[in-house]
Amino acid sequence: MNFFLSTVISKLKTALIIFFLRVISLFCNPKRSFEPEKIRKILVFAYTGLGNFILFTPAIKALKEAFPEAQITVQAGNDYGTEYVLEESYLINETLIIRYDASWKQKIKFIRELRKKRYDTALVSFDCRSLFAMVEILLAGIPVRIGHTVEKIRRKDHLHFVFNFPVPLEAGRHETDLKLDLVSVLINQTPMHLRGIKVDESPIIFSEQKLPRIPLFFCISETSRLAAGKLLAEMGLLEKKPFICVQPGAANAMNTPKRWPLEKFAVLLDRLIKELDLPVFALGDAAECQIIETLQEMMEGELYILAGKTGVKEVAAIIEKASLILCHDSGLMHVAVAVGTPVVALYGPTDYHRTRPLGEMHTVIKKDLDCSPCMYGFKSEADALKCPHRSCMNLIEPEEVFEIIKSLFTKTQGIIYDSRS
C-alpha cells in the first residue's frame, strides 16, 4: 500500500512539474526563428558520460568555427570528469559547475545567477535531458533552446515542448552525427534548410544539409603530459619503449553486460607480455581497482596498475603515449580516439553503430549474432543483463584478439572484425 501511494505521489509531482514547465514555455520565446548574427552566448550541457561528451566535441568545434565571436560555456557537475575534456581549450570560454545532485535550493540560486548572464542559446543532447536541465533553460530565459526529442524511439516525449527547436533522435546513426544535428540547426538556419514535421503538437525541426564529420577532441595540457611522463618513469618504463593500455572494467565498475570475462583477459594479456614483450598498463577509476586486482591474481605476468592513481587529464596523456588501448565500449575508448591512439574495442550488447571508434586505425571486434547488438536503438542495459548466455562477449576468444593486436603492430589500418560462430 505504501509503495502504491508513493508511486502515485511521484507521478503526480512529475505531472505538476510538466504542467508548470508548459505554462512557462508559453512565455519563453515559443517562436521557431532567430537571427544567427545575434548568437553571442551559447550554453552546452555536459551531464553525461566521459565518452558521450567527447562525442559532443565535434559539434562544439563546429559551433566555434561557425560563431568564432560567441562565448561558448560548458555546464557540468557529475562524477565522470566531463568538465576536464575541454579545460584550457580554445573551443570554450568558461565551464560552470553545479552538481547534478545539488539541492533544488542550490539549483534555483544557480539559475538566478545564470539568468543575469543572458545566454541566448542552449544545446541539450539526448543524454543530458534531465528535469533540472529543462527547468533551467526555461527559467534562465534562454530564447533559443535546441535539443533532442525522443518521439522516434519512445511512445511519448513529455518534455519536447521545452525546445523551440526540437531535433529528432534517430537510431542507427553515430552519436557524433546526432550531436552535430543540434549544431546544424544554428549553422544551416540561413539560408533556410529547415522544414517541419508534425509530431504530437510540436514540429520537429531538422536540417536537410548534414554537417561533415569532425575528429573528436580532448585538450591535453603540457602539465598533464609532464605528469604522465613522470608517473611512467616512476613505474620503470623506459623512454620510447612501446606499451599498451588495457581497461578490463567498464561503466565505472557497475554490473554491465558489456564486459569481457576476466579469465579471457588474463590469457590474452599473459601472451602479450610474454610473446610480444609488451608492458601492459591497466587503467580505470578507483571503483575498478578490485576488478584489476582480481585480474592480476589470474595472471602469471605483471601489470602496471594505474587504476585510481590518475585523474582524467593524466590518464588521457598516458593513453596518448601508448601504442594501443584494448577496451570495451567505454569512456577511455573515446579518449584514445580523441588523442590519436589506436583502439581495439570489444563489442557485444552495446550499439556499435552509435558509439564505435571512427577511423582506419581503430579495430572493433564483435560477434555477428542475430541477437546482437541487443541495445540497438537506445535500449538500456536492463534487458541485456537478463541474457542467460551473453554469447556476444563470451564467444570472443583470446587467440583471435591476440592475432589482431599482433597484426596491428605491423599495419595501421583497423577493421571491424565480424566472426560468425
Residue 242 lies in a domain: yes
On whether both 394 and 340 belong to a single domain, the answer is yes
Span 304-363, pLDDT tens digits: 999 989 999 999 999 999 999 999 999 999 999 999 999 999 999 999 999 999 998 999
Is pLDDT above 50 for 377?
Answer: yes
Looking at residue 269, its pLDDT comes to 98
The total number of structural domains that make up the chain: 2
Whether 198 and 279 map to the same domain: the answer is no
Whether residue 280 has pLDDT greater than 90: yes
**Residue 190 one-letter amino acid:** T
Return the CATH number at 393: 3.40.50.2000
171 located within any domain: yes
- The reply to whether 146 falls in a domain is yes
Claim to verify: residue 203 and residue 329 sit in the same structural domain = no
Residue 155 is predicted with a pLDDT of 63
> Is the pLDDT confidence value at 253 over 90?
no
Residues 359-388, mean pLDDT to the nearest whole number: 85
* Residue 16 pLDDT: 83
Residues 162, 163, 167, 170: what is their CA dihedral angle, to the nearest 10 degrees? Answer: -20
pLDDT over 70 percentage in the chain: 88
Give residue-wise pLDDT tens across range 108-162. 999 999 999 999 999 999 999 998 999 999 999 999 999 999 877 776 788 888 9
C-alpha pair distances (Å), 129 with each of 43, 53, 150, 373: 14, 13, 10, 24
Q: Read off the pLDDT band of 419 (50, 70, 90).
A: very low
Instruction: Say whether both 38 and 97 belong to one domain.
Output: yes
Closest CA to 86 of 126, 121, 27, 44: 44
Domain around 296: 222-419
For cell 599473459, name the residue.
270
Residue at 2 is within a domain: no
258 in a structural domain: yes
CA-nearest of 39, 46, 32 to 66 is 39
Encode pLDDT of 37-92 as tens digits.
889 999 999 999 999 999 999 999 999 999 999 999 999 999 999 999 999 999 99
Three-class SS state of 53: helix
Residue 11 lies in a domain: no
Residues 31 and 173 in one domain: yes
The answer to whether residue 286 is domain-embedded is: yes
Give me the mean pLDDT over the 201-219 stretch. Answer: 64
What's the confidence (pLDDT) of residue 1?
Answer: 52
Q: Is residue 297 part of a domain?
A: yes
Task: Please write the tens of the pLDDT for every residue from 9-19.
Answer: 777 877 887 88
At 9, list the grid cell: 505521489
Q: How far apart are CA 254 and CA 381, in angstroms?
A: 11
Burial (CB count within 10 angstroms: exposed 0-12, middle 13-18, buried 19+), residue 306: buried
| Distance (Å, whole) CA 163 – CA 199 | 13
Residue 224 pLDDT > 70: yes
Question: 384 falls in which pLDDT band (50, 70, 90)?
Answer: confident
* Mean pLDDT, rounded, of the chain: 86
| Cell, residue 70 | 560567441
In angstroms, the Cα distances linking 347 to 307, 392, 414, 417 are: 22, 8, 15, 10
Task: Indicate whether 250 pLDDT > 50.
Answer: yes
Residues 77 and 169 in one domain: yes
* Same domain membership, residue 249 and residue 112: no
Choose between 420 and 214: higher pLDDT: 214
Same domain? 327 vs 233:
yes
Same domain, 115 and 251: no
